[in-house]
Amino acid sequence: MTGRPESIGDPFVIERAEVLEVALPLKEPFVTSFGPTASRNVVLVRLTDADGRVGWGEAAPLDHPFYLPDTVSGAFAVMVEYALPLCLRAQIAHPGDAAAAMGSVRGNTFARAGVEQAYWVLEAVRSSRRLADLLGGGRDRIAVGESLGIKASIDDLLDEAALRLKEGYRRIKLKIAPGWDLDVVREVRSAFGPEVMLQVDANAAYTSHDAERLAELDPFDLACIEQPLEYDDLVGHAELQRRLDTPICLDESLRSWRDVRTALRIGACRNVNLKPGRVGGIAESLRIHDLCLDQGVPLWCGGMLESGIGRAANIALASLPGFDHPADMSPAAILYTWDLVDPTYQVDPDGFVDVPVEAGLGFPVDEERVRAQTVRRAELDRRGNVTHVDERRAP
């Protein structure tokens, strides 16, 4: 069990908190069953303590409310108006205390996770430890797969899958939707053979009436089918799982430890995608990790197309022993023209990403780029009062 990681124990003295909405230009739109994600902004938190040490966090909901209700604008507002003031006005000696201080906030998991990450990183900086060590992670590298969006043609998809497999990626995940499912899976399976680890992600594009069609995926030996039904339909997933051999993996439906416990108890899934942002942060993620490890449930770290700042938390988390399937962790080289950390991480020819050896976040933040790409910024003082807001819709 992971337990509560120890801290150095002194209360944090935060002098200044900044919230920055930063534009990250995607190389090409990421297309899922809910449509294309063409623009991608993230919300960063930058905490400065009384000794000038800095902790970064990232909230990475999508810009639009088509994946979950959370949006970039909503996260920005909740962080400035509630999440940060609650933390700044509380006694926080351990990052877990930040999660507790925000306990009265319902939903808004991405906003809470972004603020909480900044405290974890600050704790890692002030104790000169690697973020992974702070969380109890043991591995020095993590296995990664790619999540492939819906493409213009099956040939385009086969080309990209071939490229990633050649580059060493250890698993391929295909986005599916009605009309882009059985044929696509059949072609990919026959092109790359039975050895390739393959799974699909529907992003809630099906209904319980599609059970028969989804059962036709069973012969393709998929590692899982991710989130076939609506985000708020645990019972529907439990009924569907009874009709499928393929394990259902839940993503959107799992927004807390309690959700995961319920889902496992009623048989709504047999596989768990854990994204720290989606469940409200790292402290909640550690509890979910322990639950899955305890129950022997396959667990893997999902992604939200984060910048390297958010990905750093995912990498540290995925170094824990319960993560037994490859993570969605495509590097900036695939998704973006550049990253907000420099240097960023790469995937080695065996399909692994190194867990950074440096203390703190583990990657140097490119502050100049962050400032240049900032479209909206707010600043709070040590009492949680907003002292500055500015908006600049340039990038």
User: Can residue 203 be called a binding residue for ligand OSB (CB under 6 A)?
Assistant: yes
Compute the distance between CA of residue 289 and CA of residue 299 in angstroms, rounded to an integer: 8
Binder of residue 67, out of Mg ion, ligand OSB, none (CB less than 5 to 8 A by kind) = ligand OSB
**3-class SS shares of the chain: helix, strand, coil, % to 5:** 35, 25, 40
Q: Which residue is nearest to ligand OSB (CB)?
A: 303
Contacts of 173 (CB under 8 A, 6+ apart): 145, 146, 147, 148, 198, 199, 200, 201, 226, 328
Smallest distance from ligand OSB to CB 154, Å: 19
**Distance of alpha carbon 33 from the chain centroid:** 18
Angle formed at CA 260 by CA 256 and CA 264, multiple of 5 degrees: 170
Of 27, 102, 92, the residue nearest 55 (C-alpha): 92
**276: exposed, middle or buried (C-beta count within 10 Å: 0-12, 13-18, 19+)?**
buried
201 binds ligand OSB (CB under 6 A): yes
Q: Which does 330 bind (CB under 5 to 8 A by kind): Mg ion, ligand OSB, none?
A: ligand OSB
Indicate the residue among 41 and 330 with the shorter CB distance to ligand OSB: 330
The residue within the footprint of ligand OSB, chosen from 31, 54, 142, 305 (CB under 6 A), is 305
Active site residue 151: no
Tokens 């540290």, residue located:
316
Residues 251-270 that bind Mg ion (CB under 5 A): 251
Q: Is 166 a catalytic residue?
A: no
Per DSSP, the three-state class of 169 is coil
Residue 21 in the binding site for Mg ion (CB under 5 A):
no
CB nearer to Mg ion: give 201 or 306. 201
Q: Which does 303 bind (CB under 5 to 8 A by kind): ligand OSB, Mg ion, none?
A: ligand OSB
Read off the amino acid at residue 35.
G
Q: Is 201 in the site for Mg ion (CB under 5 A)?
A: yes
Minimum distance from residue 204 beta carbon to Mg ion (Å): 9
Residues binding Mg ion (CB under 5 A): 201, 226, 251
Residues catalogued as catalytic: 175, 275
Residues binding ligand OSB (CB under 6 A): 62, 67, 147, 201, 203, 251, 302-305, 328, 330
